[in-house]
Amino acid sequence: MSMTVEDMIRMLDNPATLGDALLEAAKLPFRGDDKVRFQQKRQRYIDGLSDHERPRWAGEMKAFLSLYDVSTSSDNRAEMPASEHSSEFKTDIFISYARKDLKRVEPIVKELQKQGWSVFWDLEIPPGETWRSYIKKRLDESRCVLVVWSHISITSKWVIAEADEADKRGILVPVLLDAVEPPFGFSDIHAADLSEWNNDRSHLKFRQCVGAIIARISLPPVVHFPGRENALPSPAPAVVLPKTPPNFVFIRGALFTMGSPTGEVDRIDNETQHQVKVSDFYLCRYAVTVVEFRKFVEASGYRTDAEKGDGSYVWDGKEWKKRAGINWRYGVSGGERTQTEENHPVIHVSWNDAVAYCKWLSATTGEPFRLPTEAEWEHACRAGTTTTFNTGENLTTGQANYNGNYPYSNNQKGVYRENTIPVDSFAPNAWGLYNMHGNVFEWCGDWYGDKYYDECKAKGTVENSAGPETGSIRVLRGGHWYSYARSCRSANRGNASPGYRSADVGFRLVFVP
């Protein structure tokens, strides 16, 4: 029997069931601005609430959910409340900018349109409309707001007001046209620096901007532009995308060079470069979180390898030690996870546990989920780059979570956080994927083979490479919070036995319809 809204509201009275209430509430058919409001409230919970903030948050959420009445119809679906914003979004991207920057903004608009997105940038106001009401309506109808900060726009009250509204809705993507400090209240929101992009769609910062947009509105729809002979063609043919689970990004199949060049600093001999062709797939933007894994355990009664065995490895500040009783409920040093870490990646999980999660989710949803192959993982991590990291030839601790005392190739030292961080931290890569470098090692489906890359190179081009047919250890990718920067390289290969579990290992999912 499905859970009613009244059940969800009652669960909000108990701090122990807040997460479950949110998981159930996420199944309600929110639309338009109501969907945005729910996502904002859920994000506040995920980011962490103090004991003082929690009762107020729960009260606001109960008031919000109380607008929904369960229908008595046979399908028992929740009815939508009346809302001035309940209509579907009509525009993908709203551009907020100073009109004096129009000529500088126009190339950005054109590139975004070539990606297949609809873009509103208020060139004309229809007759009979006031500027204020029309802009407000178009802002409400947009799925993402790209705010362009420049020497001029940082003092524009209209641009600041539009940015504030977008920030409240959680759909703000800021960019810099000039090397300026954004207005008060926005300086802590990372902005892609396009001051030197020179209208180059392959520029790293522009690709990061596109990735941030994808993270908020998913992939652009398939759009055809008749009569636009002067438009540059897309890099690949458009595809019709099936309905996908939330937070999964479409990764277009392609031929790419896997491994590292011989001159890459700190490369290892098992990274021989070779050509791999992968098919289309979907990869989750984030690693599986503590709250998601809890849902699995509570629904299935599953016991992890750590629980059935002798615990897991923790870091005591000096060395790694295996401690009995440690499992997925615990953090990096062996303390039990708090609610503030519900959105951190689940750790202390083995390859066997990750596969069990995939099987349970597949059976529960009727959709196929699995771990990525090593080739899929590297293709997605690189996001079209050929550099050491998807951020270029260096990785800072402002871009990834690793041990900043050991930067890459003698670069400047950074922060050592000594813990995992939320899965949506930092800017995503150009394809909208978060923390492909650092935070936690991620299990792949393949058996590990030390000479496997050499075997692949000898074959020429390998299609949908999935590792050796047999083996005793599985592949780990991405580096983690304790890693040196060199272990976070796109080509770096880790490995461990299928039953291994530790405070630095998690996983993310692939979906292939």
The per-residue pLDDT for 442 is 98
Residue 42 in contact with residue 33, Cβ under 8 Å? no
- 384 has pLDDT over 60: yes
DSSP-assigned beta bridge partners for residue 365: none
Q: What is the pLDDT of residues 409-447, one digit of tens each?
A: 999 999 999 999 999 999 899 888 999 999 999 999 999
- 368 has pLDDT over 90: yes
Residue 327 in contact with residue 304, Cβ under 8 Å? yes
The per-residue pLDDT for 2 is 61
- 49 has pLDDT over 70: no
> Binning pLDDT at 50, 70 and 90, where does residue 229 land?
very low
The per-residue pLDDT for 270 is 96
Q: How far apart are the first and last CA of the chain?
A: 28
Alpha helices in 195-348 (DSSP H): 204-217, 290-300, 305-308
> Binning pLDDT at 50, 70 and 90, where does residue 207 land?
confident
The per-residue pLDDT for 160 is 92
The ranges assigned to domains in the chain are 5-65, 91-217, 251-287+354-511
Average pLDDT value for residue range 180-188: 84
DSSP-assigned beta bridge partners for residue 461: 275
Measured between alpha carbons, how far is 97 from 258 in angstroms, rounded to an integer? Answer: 40
Least confident among 86-95, 174-183, 264-273, 472-481: 86-95
DSSP state, residue 463: E
Least confident among 227-231, 339-343, 498-502: 227-231
- 183 has pLDDT over 50: yes
Q: What is the pLDDT of residues 285-304, one digit of tens each?
A: 999 999 999 999 999 999 99
- 489 has pLDDT over 50: yes
Average confidence score pLDDT of the chain: 84
The DSSP code sequence of 391-414 is TBS---TTTSBS-TTS-GGG----
SS3 320: strand
Q: At what angle do helices 102-114 and 204-217 cross, to 10 degrees?
A: 60
DSSP-assigned beta bridge partners for residue 476: 443, 494
Q: Which residue would you say has higher pLDDT here, 140 or 324? A: 324
Average pLDDT value for residue range 348-366: 95
Measured between alpha carbons, how far is 181 from 224 in angstroms, rounded to an integer? Answer: 38
> Binning pLDDT at 50, 70 and 90, where does residue 184 land?
confident
* Dihedral, CA of residue 198, residue 203, residue 208 and residue 211, to nearest 10: 100
> Binning pLDDT at 50, 70 and 90, where does residue 236 land?
very low
Percentage of the residues of the chain whose pLDDT score is greater than 90: 54
Measured between alpha carbons, how far is 458 from 452 in angstroms, rounded to an integer? Answer: 10
- 150 has pLDDT over 80: yes
Least confident among 66-80, 127-141, 312-326: 66-80
Fold of 91-217: Rossmann fold (3.40.50)
Residue 334 in contact with residue 314, Cβ under 8 Å? yes
The per-residue pLDDT for 52 is 63
Report for 15-19, 71-75, 298-302, 346-350: range of highest mean pLDDT: 346-350
Q: Which two tokens stand for residue 85?
A: 């914003």
Residue 418 in contact with residue 401, Cβ under 8 Å? no
Is 251-287+354-511 in CATH node 3.90.1580.10?
Answer: yes
* Dihedral, CA of residue 269, residue 270, residue 273 and residue 274, to nearest 10: 150
Measured in degrees and rounded to the nearest 5, phi and psi for residue 296 equal -60, -50
Q: Which residue would you say has higher pLDDT here, 144 or 510? A: 510
Residues in the chain: 513
Average pLDDT value for residue range 176-198: 86
Measured between alpha carbons, how far is 491 from 284 in angstroms, rounded to an integer? Answer: 20
Average pLDDT value for residue range 253-261: 94
Residue 343 in contact with residue 46, Cβ under 8 Å? yes
DSSP state, residue 330: B
The per-residue pLDDT for 31 is 65
Please report, as a single letter, which amino acid is at residue 6. Answer: E
Q: Which two tokens stand for residue 354?
A: 């990750």
